[in-house]
Amino acid sequence: MLKSMLGNTPRRRFDKEIFFLSLPAFIAVIVLFVYPFVFGLDLSLRTGARGEGDWTLNNYSQFFNDARQVDTIGTTFQVALPVTLFSVALSVPLAYFMRRGIKFERLITIILILPITLGTVMVAQAMLSYFGPRGWFNLVLQTAGLESDPIRLTRNWIGVEIALFINGFPFVFLMILGYMSGISPDLERASRMLGASRWQTFWRVLFPLTLPGIAIAFCLNFVANFSVFPSANLVGEPSAATRVISIAAYQAAYDQNNRPLGIAIALVMGVIELAIIAFVLWLRGRMARGATMGGGKGA
């Protein structure tokens, strides 16, 4: 009986077409991601300016034993986390309002996409001209008599937050809008017909269905903000308030001429980012499961 059942089980055959179609992507992943990662990991475990020494954990211990270096982790969280949370929190209600289309939607979309095309360096340079002590913003305030002294919005933490928001918010908003716009309107109508209010419909229907988009948008934006480098240098204080972990890695690799230490710091940054991503995706699963169970019980 068992043999007959096993004999009737279809065998998986090797599909040459699928293999050759996926081979270029597999080679690209190996060349562009796997090999650089393995090479960098090997280099971070060696000593010497070019990694010519034996394997050791000295680079990692040197980083974690230096209080000034470890402080860059907290500084990077202070820079990356608030602007990421603010971008997501602002994008969700705006996406809810615009999910069915509004007047001048194309114009608004173009305005939102424009900062993405400019890039971080151009946005930072524009901020120095606009928000600087002698920029247009302070000039207008002083001319109108609203401020006597210029407001400091550059060369500090606030300047970096503004730059990251300008660069990252359009991406977060458009991603969440795409997820929310794809939800069928019939679900909302059914919820309202069953007696749910607009808020209950959003919290129990739209929000759980949008959670995957919110989580992915948060993770991508957080990674971009956590690895910030140009904005922290151009509109921040790279030697004080905005000395983030990427600046520490750059200084170790090029100012101190210690590339293994710089790569070790960069790998520490990558591990922290992966940990945050894993936590957010786990939290998304818990929230989605809880919202689905709560809705099913009619609570």
Beta carbons within 8 Å of 17's beta carbon, 6+ residues apart: none
How far apart (Å, rounded) are the C-alpha atoms in residues 286 and 29?
Answer: 31
81 and 160 in contact (C-beta within 8 Å)? no
pLDDT digits (tens, 9 = 90+) for 72-101: 999 999 999 999 999 999 999 999 988 877
How far apart (Å, rounded) are the C-alpha atoms in residues 164 and 152?
Answer: 17
As given in the structure block, the two tokens for residue 218 are 């948060």
pLDDT of residue 161: 97
Give the chain's residues under pLDDT 50.
1-2, 293-299
226 and 242 in contact (C-beta within 8 Å)? no
pLDDT of residue 297: 38
pLDDT of residue 104: 81
As given in the structure block, the two tokens for residue 251 are 């200084």
pLDDT of residue 296: 42
| Domains contained in the chain, CATH given | 65-296 (1.10.3720.10)
Classify 27 as helix, strand or coil: helix
pTM of the model: 0.87
260 and 44 in contact (C-beta within 8 Å)? yes
Cα radius of gyration rounded to whole Å, the chain = 25
pLDDT of residue 291: 54
Beta carbons within 8 Å of 268's beta carbon, 6+ residues apart: 60, 63, 73, 245
How far apart (Å, rounded) are the C-alpha atoms in residues 157 and 289?
Answer: 37
Beta carbons within 8 Å of 81's beta carbon, 6+ residues apart: 222, 225
How far apart (Å, rounded) are the C-alpha atoms in residues 250 and 291?
Answer: 44
How far apart (Å, rounded) are the C-alpha atoms in residues 78 and 229?
Answer: 14
pLDDT of residue 29: 94
How far apart (Å, rounded) are the C-alpha atoms in residues 236 and 118?
Answer: 19
